[in-house]
Amino acid sequence: MTHPLAASLLILSLASTGCAQLIEWGWDEPDQTFLKTYVATMERKPFDGIVFHLTVPGVPADLANFSWHLADHRYQWSDLRPALEELKTIPFGRFRHNFLRINLNSTDRPFDLLDDAAWETLLANLRLAARIARDGGLRGFMVDPEAYAARDPEDDRPRFNVFDYNRRAVREAPFDVYRSAALRRGRESAAILGEAAPDLVLLFAFAYSFPCYSSKPEEEQAYGLLPAFIDGILMAKPKELVVVEGHEPSYPYRYCHQFQEAYRRLRSECRRLSSVPQRYDDDLRIAFGIWMDNESGEPCERHRKEGKPCPWADPTLYTEEARHWVDPKVFEEAVASALDLTDGYVWIYSEEPRWWTSARPDGENVPAEFVQAVEQAKERAVVRRGSICPKPTKDD
C-alpha cells in the first residue's frame, strides 16, 4: 500500500511545479475603485496578486461591502453589474493572482447549517460572485470562514458561527445531523461555483488546520463542522476547481522547520478529519499565511488609542522571546521557506504596516528593510526552488 503522505507529495509536487505566488492581504484591503485608481503604484510592490473586496454602489451603506453579507442579504445582478464593469477596466499587469474576499459567516445574526432560507441566500450570492470572478478575470476567492461576531462573555467565543455546533439554532439536532448538513452545504457550494466558473481557486484562510490542531472533540470546537464543509466541496467540485488550505495558524512562523511540520501534519494525521481521505490526498493543496507584524495589537495599543502610527518594527516593543517576529532577516527566511514549500500560494497579512493607502498609495509604515526582505525571499525562492525548505518525506 502506498503511504498517504508519499502519494500526496508525488501528486502535489507535480501540481506545484513552477514558482509559487505571493499574495497580499491585510487591513489595507482595497476595493475595486481603489484598485482602478492606484494599481500602477501598487504593482511596484513585490506581490503577484492581492485580496480585495467588492463595494456595491447604490445599496444602503451597511450592505455596500459585498464580501461581508453573502449570508444575510440577497444581492441582485443589477446591484453588482456596475462594480463588475469597474473591475473589468482595471489595467492589471503584474498582479495576475487576484482574489475576491468571501466571508462565510454572518456577523450580526445566527446562521445555521439547517437554515435553508439563509443558505439559499448564500448560494445565490456565490453564483453571482463566481460570475464576477469569471468575467472580471480573477483567479478565485479568498474564502474566510472566521466568525467575526462579538464574543459571548460566558465562553469567549463568537456569538454566531455557522461551523460551531455550540452555536446551532436547531438545538435538538445531534452533531451527526449537523455534520451531514455541512457536507451537503459544501457540495451545494461546489456545484454552484463549478457551474458558473469551474476553474476557480478557493483559497481558504484555514480549512482543516485549526480543527486538526485542537485537542477538543469536534462537537466542542469553534470550527468543528468546517472539515465536513470542505469535504463536500472536494466531493462535488469539477476537476479544474482548486481547493487550498491557506493555513492561517502559520501567522507566527519564522523558520523552515515550523512550515515543514505543518505540511507534514496536514499530509498525514490531519487527513483523519476528512470523510473522503482520497479526495483530501489528491485534491487539497497547502498554502501558508504569514503575519508580518505578528501580534502587534498589545505593543501598539497605546499608539492606536492616540491615533498615531505604531513603530511596530521596533524590537524594544516586544519581549525578548518575541523579537524575532520583527527581525527583517528572519522574516525573509520565513517568506522564502514558505514560498519554497507551498503547493502554490503564500499570503502575507499585516495590520500596522499598510502596503498602500489612499493618502499614501506607495505605502505607510512599511520599513524598507521589510520590502527588501520580501523581494529577496522571492528571488531566492525562484533560484533555489526545492532547496530552501524541502517538502518533508514520509520518514520525517
As to burial, measured by CB atoms within 10 angstroms (0-12 exposed, 13-18 middle, 19+ buried), residue 148 is middle
Whole-angstrom Cα distance, residue 320 to residue 318?
Answer: 6
Contact 340, 385 (CB under 8 A): yes
Contact 288, 346 (CB under 8 A): yes
Whole-angstrom Cα distance, residue 85 to residue 106?
Answer: 27
Residue among 99, 108, 104, 64 at smallest CA distance from 82: 64
Residue among 236, 129, 243 at smallest CA distance from 188: 236
Window from 169-173, 274-278, 328-332 with minimum mean pLDDT? 169-173
Whole-angstrom Cα distance, residue 333 to residue 325?
Answer: 11
Count other C-beta atoms under 10 Å from residue 328's C-beta: 18
Residue among 234, 245, 329 at smallest CA distance from 286: 245
Q: What is the pLDDT of residue 23?
A: 98
Which residue, chain included where needed, has cell 484591503?
A: 29
Locate 253 and state its grid cell.
512562523
Contact 252, 325 (CB under 8 A): yes
Q: Could you read off the pLDDT of 2-41 as tens digits, one per residue?
A: 344 444 443 344 333 458 999 999 999 999 999 999 999 9
Contact 41, 95 (CB under 8 A): no
Angle at 77 between CA 74 and CA 78, to 5 degrees: 110
Angle at 291 between CA 289 and CA 292, to 5 degrees: 130
Long-range Cβ pairs for the range 30-33 (8 Å, 24+): 30/356, 31/55, 31/65, 32/83, 32/86, 32/87, 32/90, 33/86
**Complete domains list, the chain, with CATH:** 4-383 (3.20.20)
Locate 350 and state its grid cell.
499585516
pLDDT band for 396, please (50, 70, 90 cuts): low
Q: Could you read off the pLDDT of 356-370 as tens digits, one per residue?
A: 999 999 999 999 999
Cα 282 off chain centre by:
20
pLDDT band for 385, please (50, 70, 90 cuts): confident
Q: Of residues 335 and 396, which shows the higher confidence score?
A: 335
Residue among 374, 379, 369, 357 at smallest CA distance from 327: 369
Window from 67-76, 169-178, 207-216, 272-281 with minimum mean pLDDT? 169-178
DSSP string, 122-177: HHHHHHHHHHHHHHTT--EEEEE----SPBPTTTSSBS--TT-GGG-SSTTS-HHH
Query: For the CA atoms of the chain, what is the radius of gyration?
Result: 20
In the chain, % of residues over pLDDT 70: 95
pTM over 0.85: yes
